[in-house]
Amino acid sequence: MTDTTQGVKQDADQNTTHFGFQTVATEDKVGMVANVFHNVAAKYDIMNDVMSMGIHRIWKRFTIDCSGVRPGHRVLDLAGGTGDLTAKFSRIVGDKGQVVLADINNSMLNVGRDKLRDLGIIGNVNYVQANAEELPFPDDYFDCITIGFGLRNVTDKDKALRSMYRVLKPGGRLLVLEFSKPVVEPLSKVYDAYSFHLLPKMGELIANDAESYRYLAESIRMHPDQETLKGMMEEAGFEQAKYFNLTGGIVALHRGYKF
Ligand SMILES: C[S@@+](CC[C@H](N)C(=O)[O-])C[C@H]1O[C@@H](n2cnc3c(N)ncnc32)[C@H](O)[C@@H]1O
């Protein structure tokens, strides 16, 4: 299999995949990703604010604005972690709607559940531990699915996209918010210096964990670029797929529909 990621061509057979810049056995990746998120869960929110200088809130706001979610809708916040998107959707869908915060990692889910309960968000949110590749929901179930900064960590992204397609209702939309490829060359250079030098240092200082933040920087570089991901969504069945570059393409929001 040839995997094209941000201009990096990497040959991998079916038994291997990448974990950041390392080539690892496919079956090992899920455990390695789990370790990263067990390690960062407690400091995840503060690191997000520090690393992005608060800008992740604007990216998430834009995601909500593009979601078309209304009162009464059923929403899946997949790889939802500490629940930022869930909190916003919960307020929009109201008493007659439902938000499912699903994540493979119980440490992240626990932090999310505690945070949302502290915010008084109780009635319309369910917490489900699930792998994006094999979603435990009926066909045609959700009006909207978001996956924020999650797809990059999934071992078989095509399988996950097909699984999302299956559980989305006809007329529903998928939103993939993810780090992507900067579209301006000078920004790219500054961003590289920031990601590979400053980010692990911040991780060390704030979360006592440089390694996890090195993985973060590497996994971003290995993630499919804007056009590749759009093609993958189309391949999984999504229609009218398009993307919006945010902060010069450092992040992109991909949107696709199931009809
Ligand atoms: C960077 S966090 C994003 C959390 C949240 N969506 C946000 O934007 O703040 C990535 C999340 O993806 C989850 N994740 C990784 N692989 C997954 C998989 N195969 N299925 C479901 N969730 C997964 C991790 O456990 C982690 O909580």
pLDDT in tens, 227-246: 999 999 999 999 999 999 99
Alpha carbon of 148 to ligand 1 centroid (Å): 7
Helix 199-207 × helix 210-222 angle, to 10°: 140
Mean pLDDT of 93-113: 98
Alpha carbon of 102 to ligand 1 centroid (Å): 9
Helix 226-235 × helix 157-167 angle, to 10°: 50
Q: Are 89 and 63 in contact (CB under 8 A)?
A: no
> How many whole angstroms separate alpha carbon 102 and alpha carbon 136?
10
Instruction: Give domain 17-258's CATH number out of 3.40.120.10, 3.40.50.150, 2.60.40.1080, 3.10.290.10.
Output: 3.40.50.150
Instruction: Pick the residue whose CA is nearest to atom 13 on ligand 1.
Output: 79
Q: Are 252 and 226 in contact (CB under 8 A)?
A: yes
Where is the binding site for S-adenosyl-L-methionine, in residues? 82, 103, 131-132
Structure tokens that stand for 105 in this block: 């990692």
pLDDT of residue 2: 35
**183 to 4, 87, 149, 157, 187: CA distances (angstroms):** 17, 31, 19, 23, 8
Mean pLDDT for all residues in the chain: 93
Q: Lowest mean pLDDT of 124-133, 202-211, 243-252, name the range.
A: 202-211
- Minimal CA–CA distance to 133: which of 149, 109, 112, 153? 153
Alpha carbon of 79 to ligand 1 centroid (Å): 4
Q: How many residues does the chain have?
A: 259
Assign 5 a pLDDT band (cuts: 50, 70, 90). Answer: very low
Q: 145 in ligand 1 pocket by Cβ < 6 Å?
A: no
pLDDT of residue 12: 52
Mean pLDDT of 114-134: 96
Domain ranges of the chain: 17-258
Burial pattern 135-164, b for ≥16 Cβ within 10 A else e, equals bebeeebbbbbbbbbbbbbbbbbeebbebb
Is 60 exceeded by the pLDDT of residue 148?
A: yes
Q: Are 221 and 19 in contact (CB under 8 A)?
A: no
Q: Are 195 and 217 in contact (CB under 8 A)?
A: yes
> How many whole angstroms separate alpha carbon 62 and alpha carbon 35?
30
How does pLDDT run across 37-82, given as a tens digit for each residue? 999 999 999 999 999 999 999 999 999 999 999 999 999 999 999 9
**pTM as predicted:** 0.94
Atom of ligand 1 nearest to the CA of 147: 6
